[in-house]
Amino acid sequence: MDVFRALKRFFWQDKRFLLGSVIGLAIATALGLVYPLLLKTLIDDMIIPGKYGGVTGLAFGAVGIIVVKACFQYVHGFSGSRVGNRLAYRLRNSSYEKLQQLSFTYYDSARTGDLMSRLTADIEGIRNFIGFGLAQLLNTFFLLLFGFAMMFFVDWKLTLMVMVTVPVIGFIAIRFEQNIHPVFRSIRAAVSRLTVSVQENITGVRTVKSFAREPFELKKFAKGNEDYRDNHLGLARVWAKYFPLIEFIANLSVAILLLAGGWRVIQGSLTLGELVALNGMLGMVVAPLWGLGFQINNYTQSKASGERLLELLNQHVSIKNADHALVLEEEAIKGHIRYDDVSFRYANRNNQPSALIGFQLDVPPGSVVGMLGGTGSGKTSAVSLLLRAYDVGEGAITIDGVDVRHIELESLRRHIAIVFQESFLFSTTIKENISYGIPDASMEEIEEAARLAQADGFIRELPLGYETIVGERGMGLSGGQKQRIAIARALLRKPKVLILDDATSALDMETEHLIQQSIRQVMTGRTVFVIAHRISSLRHADEVIVLDRGRIVQRGVHDKLIRQPGLYRETYRIQYADRPEELGAEQDAQASGMERRVTG
Ligand SMILES: Nc1ncnc2c1ncn2[C@@H]1O[C@H](COP(=O)(O)OP(=O)(O)OP(=O)(O)O)[C@@H](O)[C@H]1O
């Protein structure tokens, strides 16, 4: 019950409904137990003595009981669904809120399908148990209590005889629970694996098809499906082992009653009505014992679901606000960024070299920093640390002298806009995608941002213009179009710091050049980080950092770097190799100290 104790905060405020559900069912059940007593009265007091006058009254009494019983059943159903649905609602909200709080580190290893199944199937399992299963489990207990109390009242000796089977059934039920719980846990895990595989297959369907890997995917799915089936077969095996045992022992008690009770009726120490009543009551008590397996199932299943949800809800949030964190005010922030001897290693890469080592950088407000380096050299990691996607391992990053760890997260991220390598668009209109960071932006502001990002033109050519729905539910856009929408989204925020992480890689050089000009115009006096593999994206930077395996190996302006041997010059040579005249002219210009713009 520890799991449910831990989940108490989600349903305890509705304890009245929980109680209503339990008490409603308990009273309805207790009323059901009155029928055998009515039968006893009918046989012993009316049929055998031949006094038929009371039969009508008895029938009306039975109808009355049916009506009251139905009312209490309604209370059970109504209260149960209230508590269950409210609990599920709160759990969904809290889990979703937790998903928003969890940091990048968590998502580095989380699987979408698994999270989806926690938020749907697992919550559903808990809703069913708290809403109905719990009341039914308690009802079985009440039924045993009231049932045997009434049987005691009719004939205690006979009742004691049939009761010997109850501890045996109880013992088997407990063993059953112990055996079935791990099976349920693995069923839930198998469902989650299956969901992950379907979700990944759908998301990556283009890759699957273009590599003609459908047979492989089918095989992979079949493996998961087999796993799921085998788990269910395992469940069926446990059922098959315990169910007949419980049924046999339950029926044994009926046989004991018929044998001993029949003998006593013949002897005259028990009336026929009493035997019929005892038989009826025993049937009522034994029936839920058969169902005990189902209820235990329900309980263990929802316990397994609860464990999975608690695992998510109790997940440690590694990046959060420090006590008395400083709120960065729009007017006060200058944007002076410093990396002081920063080293960093990803939590899931303990045995591997650090992503950044001794990273030192001073970025005065209003400057443009370029970053170049091979794949995996640490460029994205360096900028991710600035917005606290992760916290530095050693050293510190400061903005205007304040350690980013002491700045309120929301205000830190409000002033930094990042355009990622892969632009993500939500399944909504282009307009809403651009205004994602500033939901109340005016149409003019949105259009202006799109113009700056060279996106306005193609957006207007779409049949529904800015109202066109894109993303999963909408129409597809080219990589370059998506990048431009993502850049417009960032520019609309007029951030103090703009980070372009290979954000123009899908654009032709001319468009890229136009966007660079816009950015220079919008970001005057503000700080820009440009991560790129193209020299044309970096050549106007105030300082270019060249990274290799997490270390800064070169730094300086374009003019200086093309004269030094190293990655920058190599990249420059490769990219301009097919235009030796430009390379030559460039070098001549350098020699004569002239400035010449290369647009590529
Ligand atoms: N989320 C992550 N979890 C674990 N390791 C990571 C993660 N992101 C990056 N790494 C590793 O950290 C190192 C630096 O990666 P980073 O993404 O910073 O490189 P990069 O220079 O931006 O590369 P690219 O140009 O390919 O984007 C690499 O070894 C990479 O495998």
Q: Which amino acid is at 557?
A: V
How close is the Cα of 376 to the center of ligand 1, in Å?
5
The pLDDT of residue 473: 52
473 domain residue, yes or no: yes
pLDDT greater than 50 at residue 598: no
Residue 531: name the closest of 500, 485, 506 by CA.
500
Instruction: State the sign of the Cα–Cα–Cα–Cα dihedral 204, 207, 210, 216.
Output: negative
Q: Do 159 and 288 share a structural domain?
A: yes
User: Is residue 348 within 6 Å of ligand 1 at its C-beta?
Assistant: yes
Percent helix / strand / coil, the chain, rounded to 5:
65, 10, 25
The pLDDT of residue 578: 63
The pLDDT of residue 50: 84
End residue of a domain, out of 313, 332, 356: 313
End residue of a domain, out of 270, 290, 313: 313
End residue of a domain, out of 271, 295, 313: 313
Q: Do 172 and 39 share a structural domain?
A: yes
Q: Do 300 and 413 share a structural domain?
A: no
Q: How far apart are CA 142 and CA 150, in angstroms?
A: 12
Q: Do 168 and 286 share a structural domain?
A: yes
pLDDT greater than 50 at residue 545: yes
How close is the Cα of 356 to the center of ligand 1, in Å?
10
**Residue whose entry in the numeric block shows the structure tokens 């039924």:** 143
The residue whose C-alpha atom lies closest to atom 17 belonging to ligand 1 is: 380
Question: Domain holding 496: CATH number?
Answer: 3.40.50.300
Encode pLDDT of 258-280 as tens digits. Answer: 999 999 999 999 999 999 999 99
Tell me: ipTM over 0.90.
Answer: yes
339 domain residue, yes or no: no
Q: Mean pLDDT over residues 402-424, rounded?
A: 89
Q: Which of 330-334, 569-573, 585-589 has the lowest mean pLDDT?
A: 585-589
531: pLDDT confidence band, cut at 50, 70 and 90? Answer: very high
Q: Do 241 and 131 share a structural domain?
A: yes
382 domain residue, yes or no: no
Structure token digits, residue 255: 């046989």
Q: Do 432 and 309 share a structural domain?
A: no
Encode pLDDT of 57-105 as tens digits. Answer: 889 999 999 999 999 999 999 998 999 899 999 999 999 999 998 988 8
Q: Do 408 and 307 share a structural domain?
A: no
Helices (H), 493-564: 509-522, 535-538, 558-561
Structure token digits, residue 201: 């297959």
The pLDDT of residue 229: 93
475: pLDDT confidence band, cut at 50, 70 and 90? Answer: low
Pairing of strands 356-363, 337-344: antiparallel
pLDDT greater than 90 at residue 289: no
Question: Domain holding 115: CATH number?
Answer: 1.20.1560.10
Buried b (16+ CB within 10 A) or exposed e, 227-253: bbeebeebbeebbeebbeebeebbebb
How far is CA 475 from each of CA 107, 157, 210, 436, rounded to the nearest angstrom? Answer: 27, 78, 20, 18
Range of the domain at 144: 2-313
How close is the Cα of 526 to the center of ligand 1, in Å?
26
Is the pLDDT higher at 596 or at 321? Answer: 321
Of 345, 348, 349, the residue with max ligand 1 atoms within 8 A of its CB, to mutate for a pocket test, comes to: 349
Q: Average pLDDT of the chain?
A: 86
| DSSP per residue, 275-288 | HHHHHHHHHHHHHH
489 domain residue, yes or no: yes
Encode pLDDT of 214-233 as tens digits. Answer: 888 898 889 889 999 999 99
What total of structural domains would you count in the chain?
A: 2
Q: Do 437 and 309 share a structural domain?
A: no
Q: Do 308 and 425 share a structural domain?
A: no
Question: Burial level of 94, CB count in 10 A (0-12/13-18/19+)?
Answer: middle
The pLDDT of residue 593: 41
How close is the Cα of 345 to the center of ligand 1, in Å?
10
pLDDT greater than 50 at residue 599: no
DSSP state at residue 341? E
User: Is residue 108 within 6 Å of ligand 1 at its C-beta?
Assistant: yes
Q: How far apart are CA 546 and CA 577, in angstroms?
A: 21
Q: Do 167 and 45 share a structural domain?
A: yes
DSSP state at residue 442? -
Structure token digits, residue 149: 């109390």
359 domain residue, yes or no: no
175 domain residue, yes or no: yes
596: pLDDT confidence band, cut at 50, 70 and 90? Answer: very low
How close is the Cα of 355 to the center of ligand 1, in Å?
7
205: pLDDT confidence band, cut at 50, 70 and 90? Answer: confident
Buried b (16+ CB within 10 A) or exposed e, 415-432: bbbbbbeebebeeebbbb
Assign residue 582 a region: left if phi > 0, alpha if psi is -120 to 50, beta otherwise? alpha
Q: Which amino acid is at 433?
A: N
193 domain residue, yes or no: yes
330 domain residue, yes or no: no
